[in-house]
Amino acid sequence: MSNVPALIFWRAELARGVKALAGAVFLHVLLLAGPAWAGGEALTLGRDNGPVALTQALEYWVDTGGKTPVEQIEAGAGRLPFAAVVPDKKYWLDDAALWLRFDATVQDPLVHWKLELPMSGVDKVALYYRDSLGRWVVQQAGDTLPISAWPLPARYPVFSLNHEVGASVRYYLRVEHARVPFSALPRVLSAERVTTSRQLEHLFLGAYFGLALLVTILALINAAAYRDRGFATYAVYLGTFAGSQAAFKGLGGLYLWPELPQLNNMTIVLLPLLAAAAALWFVRTVTTPGRFFRALDWLILALMGLAPLVGLLDAAFPTPESFALINILVSAGMVVLLMVVGVSLVEGDRHARWIALGFLPIIVATLFPLLRNFGLIASSFLTQNALILGSAVEAPILFYGLLRRVTRRVEPSTRASTLRTTDPLTGLLTTRPLLARLRQALSTAERYQQPCALLVIDLSNHARLQLEHGREIGDRAMVLAAARILAVTKPTDTVARVGDRHFALLLEGPMTSDSVNRLATKILASGLRTTTELPDADPLQFHIAIGYVAGPARLALEQAQACLDRMMQVAKEMNDGSRKAIRMIQL
């Protein structure tokens, strides 16, 4: 009887051992069966070039610690809570890793299949699968790796799938992407389709960056030509914005700093903040909000200084909190920009409407990546490309608005300078530039032994027209006379108004006295043509005095004024009632 407790004890221990052994065997069976377990639909890759939708085949699992190796993922496939992928689902992966898996079978040996994740800026992506010998094939890409470590240099990760025909292969895709919610899904397509897609993408991006570069250069040229700060700040804004898009679209990491992956995340954050500060600088320069509200001007200056500073701090110490602050700053900058433009419109700034119209598409486009960053919408074509599309629309509108602004600003001074050399009524040159060209003509005639001629044309019935019909008809007769004279001259001839009713015509180049006389006859005939522009269809009556310089010029350069005065006197003497309308003298 004393052995009964001991027997009960050993029976209990034996039962516990059998249970433990059974559990271990069952777990071992699960682990061995794990790789053969399939949850999603297997892909069959035939001759179609794709892209092949993976929605029905993909399953996901979020590794909260981000430390689980692929071997454990494979071994515990039946026990890990993989679930079917939901389109547009957003994953926050700050301290985690996203695992995606699917099965695929290649049927055509001539088609080489690729897996691409069409989203630039992903921190790190790795694709795992076993080859026919059971060895792991690992491919990695992402912003934290140099381009030389990528399996295929591109703007975003592109991996090669197993080329073995007829073999069902399970693929594991691991994604690391901090601070921004991840919602992009991979797609499968042929290598040929990848090449075609890349060509189309580079054509689209090349068109945008070519436009941005052209407008930036033109803005700098106008800034120098007009000494205008508006064009200068616009060039800075457009340059920084295009640079931010180059970083965001992965072109910077692909072409500018391929072996410096640490610059990727830095430029993706810092350049947009610099572009936002430049946009505020540009709007402040053009609209000068300090005229209306001093506090608003100080707020712009504060945001201009704070945005780059926060970007530099985030580049040195990136945290989710600093990234949230960056998004808040960009949103605040948009609100302040709208306030400044709105105040300018209310205050009657006629140039502000072009600024508002230009910034409208870029503000709408900025909403898509901002809402994506806040986790309110999923990644899509618009979150990736809306800013480029908005900037392509914005650039010519702002440039045109700036051109109108600077033209209106310089128009008074341009008119003032033009009045010194141009007659405001007829649009012809005045006496001063005529004398300068006459001196040049005399010098040329002396050097090359060729003649020149100076004609002074008197509208002899101008006084009568003005006396009978008023000043307006007299001015109209002068404008019509100028048009008739220009119609029979060559572009190389110089025509000027040199008096109340007198015109001067300077002829240069090979000529004879007869050819000059024939031209004077044409001018007389053109004036005699009837016109409805004058009352009673009155003609224009001309008297023409011709000063002909034959052979080497016998006049000194300083005698140009004396030459013009003499020809003016001859034209006035002809208006004595005589019937002779053309008179030629040798100078």
**Does 210 map to a domain?**
no
Question: 362, 393, 417: which is the final residue of a domain?
Answer: 417
* Domain match, 186 and 286 both: no
Query: Three-class SS string for 555-579?
Result: CCHHHHHHHHHHHHHHHHHHCCCCC
Mean pLDDT of the chain: 85
**Tens digit of each residue's pLDDT (9 = 90 or more) over 102-159:** 999 999 888 899 999 998 999 999 999 999 899 999 999 999 999 999 999 999 999 9
pTM to 2 decimals?
Answer: 0.70
**Does 292 map to a domain?**
yes
* Domain match, 29 and 54 both: no
Tell which wins on pLDDT, 203 or 2. 203
Amino acid 301: pLDDT: 92
* Domain match, 385 and 467 both: no
Q: What is the residue range of 440's domain?
A: 431-586
* Domain match, 163 and 83 both: yes
* Domain match, 409 and 495 both: no
CB 566 within 8 Å of CB 499: no
**Does 306 map to a domain?**
yes
* Domain match, 571 and 499 both: yes
SS3 at position 54: coil
556: domain CATH number is 3.30.70.270
Amino acid 260: pLDDT: 93
* Domain match, 9 and 64 both: no
Number of domains in the chain: 4
**Does 114 map to a domain?**
yes
**Tens digit of each residue's pLDDT (9 = 90 or more) over 444-481:** 777 777 788 999 999 988 888 888 889 999 999 999 99
Amino acid 520: pLDDT: 92
Amino acid 31: pLDDT: 35
- Answer whether residue 276 shows pLDDT above 90: yes
* Domain match, 412 and 440 both: no
Question: Is the peptide bond prior to 51 cis by the omega test (within 30 degrees of 0)?
Answer: yes
Tell which wins on pLDDT, 533 or 12. 533
56: domain CATH number is 2.60.40.2380
Place of tokens 């001067």: 504
Angle between helices 294-316 and 262-287 (to 10 degrees): 170
Could you tell me the CA-to-CA distances from 442 to 437, 509, 554 in Å, in that order?
9, 11, 9
Dmax (CA) for the chain in angstroms is 168
* Domain match, 457 and 495 both: yes
* Domain match, 478 and 582 both: yes
Amino acid 458: pLDDT: 92
**Tens digit of each residue's pLDDT (9 = 90 or more) over 48-98:** 777 887 888 999 999 999 999 999 999 886 688 899 998 888 999 988 999
Q: What is the DSSP string of 339-400?
A: HHHHHHHHTT-TTHHHHHHHHHHHHHHHHHHHHHHTTSS---HHHHHHHHHHHHHHHHHHHH
Amino acid 25: pLDDT: 35
Percent of the chain residues topping a pLDDT of 90: 48
